[in-house]
Every structure is written in structure tokens, then in C-alpha cells.
Amino acid sequence: MEFQLSKRIQALPPYLFVELDRKKADAVARGVDVIDLGIGDPDLPTPDFIVEKMREAVANPAYHRYPSSQGMERFRESAAAWMKRRFGVECDPGSQICCIIGSKEAIAHFPLAFVDPGDVVLVPTPGYPVYHIGTLFAGGETYYMPLLPENGFLPDLDSIPADVFRRTKIMWLNYPNNPTAALATQTFFEKVVALAREYGFIVCHDAAYSEMTFDGYSAPSFLETPGAIEVGLEFHSLSKTYNMTGWRIGFVAGNPELVAAMKKVKSNVDSGQFEAVQEAACAALDSDQSCVEEMRAIYTERRDTLVEGLRSAGLDAPSPKATFYVWVPVPEGQTSAGFSSLLLEEAGIVSTPGNGFGEPGEGFVRMALTVPRERLEEAVERVRRVL
Ligand SMILES: *Cc1c(COP(=O)(O)O)cnc(C)c1O
């Protein structure tokens, strides 16, 4: 038998980290003490009270049956109450919230509800790869919006031609941003709402890092923007907020028609998340959020260690107010790939070359704060020796 992959799978972008992964494996095989700052996955465990709730819930026979794909009423109520407490945004749990199996799943599936061949989807670059992949799978056309330092890593909306806007079905945004750690301003969100209303497109806001914030900064919900509910859907994930990446749970909130469309797609491709996981997620959302405060304190300390250390080594590292990423400009005359290789080969440090997230990320490497502080101290020591 010879199998022919579909055109959509053949069209997938090449995996840009092949070389880096190989070099990392080589270094590990040589016995190098590798410090991996490449992965955006929390190293900290899920808080105990959430694990305890799961332990109880898993024994409940009522949860052993098929869940509903939109999520239990109890989960949707917890999510709505959290949106209200956290952002002052009112969402009806019946029509404006849907449980998702992690945001990745929902980001990949949502375009199936609205995107036909020939439709444009606006995607930030550098960015999370799934916005483009979801577009591709739905047969749409990606129009990339570069995120550049001179614009504070916000898309330059004025540079997008009107005929592109006219063909646009969805605009993806993600603030606090991965990989640049940039923040959105209220003015920016207002401008987005005005454009979405003018051209009739949907705004999907990926808010995966809304709680991973430092120095007293509190990230807004896109849905707080006046008029946003008319055009917008927000993707929330428990992955980063509660160290629950392995649990696969989150929710979308926003416009009832968009939520209904998400439910329609999901009811045809999955049967929802295990209700025991939903119950544990309720415990997280309903809690006093002190575990989130502890998580912030840990990352703040790590961030300061890494940023101050990189600066003392002569790098122009900004100190992020959110996310667990430091978006570091590479030294003069270097490329992302070259600097990333140098760090790995000479210092045993894994970083992600910025252009791997899209060409405008060239000139940066991303370092994740996903190792203990002592390891970051060691990393900084090694960078100093190399530079
Ligand atoms: C980590 C991350 C997510 C969360 O993904 P889950 O599927 O919910 O674990 C979503 N968007 C971005 C940009 C991320 O970095």
C-alpha cells in the first residue's frame, strides 16, 4: 500500500526546531548538563487542593459516563462567576460559555465553524502556531500580522489593506503575548472592535496568560472593551494559571452566536472533557486564587534572576510584566538560530530561536522561566562566561 497524505497535511509548515532538537539530544547524549529554557510548560505541580478534588471526583460513578461536549452546567457556572469576579464581564453560563479540552483544541477547531476556502484569517507573527494551522485545516487563507518591537509587538492595523479586511472572517489576538510577552492597551482593543464592526469579522482573543502577570499588572479581558461582546470570543485555559497543562481544560466565553458555533463544531468531533477534570477545574476557578499569587511570586523571582543576569552579561533583555517568557534580542551581528546554537553548544542552554515562531521573530530568542531559580543562576553564569 502507498498512502497519500492529504493536501492539508502536506501543506503543514516545516517543523523549524528539528536541528535544535537534534543538537539538544546530542548534548544530552554527550553528558552535558543541559538547562532547558525552550519549553513553555510549567515545571511546578498542580496545587494540592485541585489534585485532591480530582481524587474524590474520579471515584464518582456519575462522572464515568459520557460528558456533554459543552461542559457541565456546574463548570460553566464556575467559569462565568470567575469572568465576573476577575474582569467584571457578565457571561450567561447557558449561552456564553463552552468548556474546551484545552485552548489548543478549541483554537484549531473554531475556524471550522466560520472559515471557507478563500476566506482570510488574520494571524499574529511571531505567534502560537495553531492559529495558522486551524486556518489551514479549515481551508482558509492566513494573512500574517507582524508583531514588531517598534509597535510594542501589537499588529499595525493601519497597514492591513481594506480588501484584506473585507475578506477577513477571523482576527486572532493573544495578550499577554507568547512569545513576545507584550501587553495590549485598551486603545488597541477599542480600535480592533471598531474595525471588526466596520468589516464584520470575528475577534478571537487567546487569553492563556491573563493570570501570569507581575509587578501588580492585571491583564484585561478583551471582552471588557465596549462592544467586544458583539464581535468577540475569548479563549481561557487553566493550563498556565494552575499548572494544569496535562489536564486539558479551559473554556471559551463571549458572543452567544460564536459560543453556539463552537458548541456545534465540538459536539460533532468530541464528547467533552471528563467530568472529574471539570469538577477539579471548578475547585481551581472557585478558589481564593492564592495559588495563583504564589505562582506569580515564583516567576517574579525567576524573571528577576534571569533578566538581571542577562543584562549583566551585556544582553539587552527586557523584564516582562506577564507570561513566563523573556524575549531577548540577540547580540549585534548574530541571528536567532546562530545565537541559540551558540547558547546550546557553548553553555548547554536551550532557548528557542525567535524566527521559529514566524520570520518577524528573527533577531530574538525566547527563554522560558520553567526551571528553578538555582538553574537560572547557573544559566546566567554560563552566559556570562560565553559572551
Ligand atoms: C500555552 C498556550 C495555550 C494553552 O494551551 P492549552 O491547550 O490550553 O494547554 C494557548 N495559547 C498560547 C499562546 C499558549 O502559549
113-135 pLDDT, tens digit each: 999 999 999 999 999 999 999 99
Cα–Cα distance between 156 and 244 in angstroms, integer?
A: 34
Query: CA nearest 47: which of 376, 375, 285, 387?
Result: 285
List the chain domain ranges: 8-37+290-386, 48-286
What atom in ligand 1 is closest to the CA of residue 245? 9
Chain centroid offset of residue 35 CA: 22
Ligand 1 pocket test, candidate residues 101, 178, 236, 370, most atoms within 8 A of CB: 178
With bands split at pLDDT 50, 70 and 90, how would you rate the model's confidence at 334? very high
* C-alpha neighbours within 13 Å on the C-beta side of residue 170: 31
Q: Which amino acid is at 283?
A: A
The pLDDT of 68-76, averaged and rounded, is: 97
Mean pLDDT of the chain: 97
pLDDT at position 57 over 90:
yes
Neighbours of 34 (CB within 10 A): 17
187: which 3 cell numbers? 486603545
* Residue 212: band (very low, low, confident or very high) from pLDDT cuts 50, 70, 90: very high
Ligand 1: centre distance to CA 261 (Å): 21
Residue 19 has pLDDT above 90, yes or no: no
Q: Confidence class of residue 23 from pLDDT cuts 50, 70 and 90? A: confident
Q: What is the pLDDT of residue 180?
A: 98
Count of all residues that appear for the chain in the document? 387
**DSSP for residue 138:** T
Arithmetic mean of pLDDT, 312-341: 97
**Separation of CA 292 and ligand 1 centre (Å):** 17
CATH assignment of 48-286, given 1.10.3720.10, 3.40.640.10, 3.30.420.10, 3.40.30.10? 3.40.640.10
**Is the model's pLDDT at 88 over the cut of 80?**
yes
Pairing verdict, β 250-254 and 97-100:
antiparallel
| Cα 384 to averaged position of ligand 1 atoms, centre (Å) | 32
Distance 163 CA to ligand 1 centre (A): 31
Q: Which contiguous run of DSSP H or E holds residue 310? A: helix 290-312
Domain 8-37+290-386 top-level CATH class: alpha beta
Contact 146, 92 (CB under 8 A): no
- Which of 17, 127, 38, 40 shows the shortest CA–CA distance to 343? 38
Give 180-205 as a DSSP string.
T-----HHHHHHHHHHHHHHT-EEEE
The pocket around ligand 1, CB under 6 angstroms, is made up of: 40, 102-104, 128, 174, 178, 206, 208, 237, 239-240, 245, 250
Residue 31 above 80 pLDDT? Answer: yes
pLDDT band at 39 (very low <50, low <70, confident <90, very high): confident
DSSP letter, residue 159? G
**Spacing, Cα 114 to ligand 1 middle (Å):** 21
Gap between the Cα atoms of 271 and 38, Å rounded: 33
* Residue 82 contacts residue 218 (beta carbons within 8 Å): no
CA-based nearest residue to 249, from 204, 286, 208: 208
Please give the DSSP secondary-structure letter assigned to residue 322.
B
Cα distance between residue 93 and residue 38, in whole Å: 37
pLDDT at 206 over 80: yes
Pocket test for ligand 1, best of 43, 104, 110, 270 (most atoms within 8 A of CB): 104
- pLDDT value of position 289: 98
Q: Which amino acid is at 221?
A: S
Nearest to 365 by CA among 181, 219, 242: 181
| List of residues 6+ apart from 303 with CB closer than 8 A | 214, 319, 320, 324, 326, 369
CATH fold match for the domains 8-37+290-386 and 48-286? no
What is the pLDDT, as a whole number, of residue 272? 97
Q: What would the grid cell of residue 86 be?
A: 476577575
Residue with C-alpha cell 465576573? 84
Mean pLDDT of 338-345: 95
Q: By alpha-carbon position, which residue is closest to atom 2 of ligand 1?
A: 208
User: Are 376 and 309 contacting, i.e. CB atoms less than 8 angstroms apart?
Assistant: yes
Q: Please say if the pLDDT value at position 14 is more than 90.
A: no
Position 21 scores a pLDDT of 84
Q: Which atom of ligand 1 is nearest to the CA of 250?
A: 8
Split at pLDDT 50, 70, 90, the class of 13 is: confident
Residue 104 pLDDT: 97
d(CA 80, CA 92): 7
